[in-house]
Each structure stands twice: as C-alpha cells, then as structure tokens.
Amino acid sequence: MNFDFTEEQLMIQQTAREFAESEIAPSAVERDKNGEFPKEIVKKLGELGFMGMMVSPEWDGAGLDTVSYVLAMIEISKVDASVGVIMSVNNSLVCFGIEKYGSDYIKNKYLRPLAKGEKLGAFALSEPEAGSDATQQHTLAHKNGSKWVINGIKNWITNGTTADYFLVMAQTDREKAHHGITTFLVEKGTPGFAHGIKEDKLGIRSSDTSSLTFENCEVPEENIIWEVGKGFNFAMETLNGGRIGIAAQAVGIAEASLEAAKKYSKERKAFGTQIANHQAIQFKLADMALKVEAAKLLTLQAAALKDAGKKFVKEAAMAKLFASQIAVECALEAIQIHGGYGYVREYLVERFLRDAKITEIYEGTSEIQRIIIARELLKD
C-alpha cells in the first residue's frame, strides 16, 4: 500500500496544520477551561470545505478522499481534539450517511448546507439503556397519517445543543427487534424536540454533549433516511466509517503528546544535562514514536481501503482500538516526562490525557472493537 501522498493531499494537510496553529490554538486553552463551543472556528472550517470533505461536489462538498480527511483530522486534533470531534461527526456520521442513503430531496435540502458548513449535524443513536448494545432502542416512532411521531430520550449526543439537523434512530416495529429500527432526520426547533443541559465533561470540553428528548415530535415521512426498518443497518454502516475519523483524532492527540514531550525534554535539565540525554527519557520517546507511527499507518490503511471501495470494517476497528489506546498511553508518558509541570493546566499535556480517554469510549468502546475484529476474523 503506497502512502506517498499526492500534491493535493499534502496541500490539505498543510492547510489544516496552518489553520489549526493560527485559528484554533490561540483560544484552545480558554475554550477548554470554560467549555465554550468554537462557533466561529467551525464556520471557518466550513468555508475551507472541511465540514463536508468527502461529499461530492454535486452536493456542494469538497469531493476529497478519506486519506485527505484523515490527514486534516490529525492536524486539527493535534491542536484541539474538541474541534476534531465536531468536524468528525459532521463529516463521518452525518454527511456520509445522508449522501449514501438519503433521497435526493434529503440531499438537496439538508446535505448541501451541512457540506458547506452552513449547518451542523448530530448523530443520535445512544440512549440511557442503549449504549454498546445499540439494538436496545427505546425511543419509539409510530405512523400518524403522513407523519411519524417520535417519543423517547437520547444520551451523549455530540453537537447536541448546537446542531441544526439530527439523525435519530427510533424503534418503529418492536416485534422485528433491530430490524424494526428506522432513521429520521429531525430539525432543531421541531415542536416536541428539545435538548438537555450541556454535560460537564472530563475532556473535549469545547465540544458540547447533551441528551435529547422527544415528546410527540412529528416528522414528515420524507425525512426518513434509507427506508423503514433499515435504521440499525444505517447506524452500523455509518459508524464503520466514523471509526476512521476517531482513530485520526486519537493519532492527533498522540502526536501532540509526543511533540510536547520531545520539546520539553530538550529544555529541562537534570543532573547537569538536558533530560533528553538520559536514556530513560529516550526510551520513552522512542516507544511513543513507535506507537504513533503504527497507529497512523493503521488509520491510513483503513482510509485507503475505504477509498478503494474495499472491505475496511476490521481495519477501521483495529485503527480505532489501537489509536485510542496509544493516545492515552502517549499522553500519560508526556505527563511523566514533564513531571510536576505535566499535572498543571499551564502545560498542555494534562488536556491531552483528558481528551484522549473518550476515544476509547465513543463510536464503539475498545471492548466492542475487539468483538468486531474477532467477528471479521472468524468470517474467513
């Protein structure tokens, strides 16, 4: 597999790096501290074409490949993983699913503004009793004339208080279990639809997360994505691609941890020399570099397979599992290398650890990734 990037891919990477350093970095610490959503940054990402990177130009997207998306996600997440996850959800979970399974009506009305970054999307699958076991949907929808009426609660929804459009999975036929789940596109402001308070989180604090409530919320039939009963399939297919985005986010956090640790080790002196000259520190840096490179290659492999139209479910799960683990490990090592300074907000590495942990949980926990990998392996 060839990872000699094209000129276009390298340009996307450089653009993302420069944008992250000039537009995102200056406010990252304060936004994390205050839990402030990066509204203007998201708007500018949309103007760059980064909110609909893989959407066809036919629907006002950038028409780029998944490898370009991964390179951009890494650079954005190196500076602020909160911005990274906002970008990832809109690209991987919302735009992808609508473009692949939505009707032309849905694409014209909703995908175009999402791809241009004029509107923001959210993916509503998790519930109080349906986390890793997504088949246990308790949110219900029943037909009433030409409309569907939704009742239920969704939990842990990224962009929950700020999104304009929500992809909502609901049970439409209990007797069919997960074959009776349907996906609806619900607009913010629809009567009977509301969000809860923003969660006060350990990490990715500049990204908003909230619950959603539906009380006799009426949605027109034309807002069904794919078809009735295909909601679970839709969610699983979409999450397969979404894991590449989260893997890239984790790689970005790990790279940032390595760079911060390397920089500090050249500045800090102990026992009469820079700590970078001590073998104990050199071994830590070497192990971090090895893990980062391996995680990046796994992520790029999954992206390249997706671009080639080949099976990538196992590879995406592997990338997400390994990258999320090394994000946590590298952040911990960066703190250790910084010593006491790594434990305080003034130095960025404590935020890297707080941001890294969620990558082992959302869009499929590490335990779920192992199940997926084993299941795919045993198909052969």
Angle value at C-alpha 226, between 223 and 232, nearest 5 degrees:
105
pLDDT in tens, the chain (380 residues): 667 899 999 999 999 999 999 999 999 999 999 999 999 999 999 999 999 999 999 999 999 999 999 999 999 999 999 999 999 999 999 999 999 999 999 999 999 999 999 999 999 999 998 889 988 999 999 999 999 999 999 999 999 999 999 999 999 999 999 999 999 999 999 999 999 999 999 999 999 999 999 999 999 999 999 999 999 999 999 999 999 999 999 999 999 999 999 999 999 999 999 999 999 999 999 999 999 999 999 999 999 999 999 999 999 999 999 999 999 999 999 999 999 999 998 889 999 999 999 999 999 999 999 999 999 999 97
pLDDT score recorded for residue 347: 85
Instruction: Give the model's pLDDT for residue 3.
Output: 74
Do 157 and 30 belong together in one domain?
Answer: no
Last residue of a domain, one of 232, 260, 289: 232
CATH number of residue 258's parent domain: 1.20.140.10
Sequential DSSP letters for 90-116: IIIIIIHHHHHH--HHHIIIIIHHHHT
Instruction: Provide the number of structural domains found in the chain.
Output: 3
Tell me: do 262 and 349 sit in the same domain: yes
User: What's the pLDDT score for residue 1?
Assistant: 66
Q: pLDDT, tens digit, for every residue of 84-115?
A: 999 999 999 999 999 999 999 999 999 999 99
Q: Same structural domain for residues 257 and 366?
A: yes
Rounded to whole angstroms, the Cα distance separating 80 from 37 reads 12
Q: Let me know if residue 333 belongs to a domain.
A: yes
DSSP alpha helix (H) spans, the chain = 7-19, 25-34, 39-48, 66-79, 81-88, 96-101, 104-106, 112-115, 231-267, 279-307, 313-338, 349-357, 366-377
Same domain, 237 and 202: no
Range of the domain at 342: 233-377
Answer with the one of 120, 146, 177 that is the final residue of a domain: 120
pLDDT of residue 211: 98
Active site residues: 363
Of 197, 232, 267, the position where a domain reaches its end is 232
Q: Which of helix, strand or coil describes residue 223?
A: helix
CA distance 107 to 12: 25
pLDDT reported for residue 380: 76
* Residues 243, 128 share a domain: no
Q: Which two three-digit tokens encode residue 91?
A: 């690209």
Sign of the Cα pseudo-torsion (40, 21, 34, 242, in order): positive
Residues present in the chain in total: 380
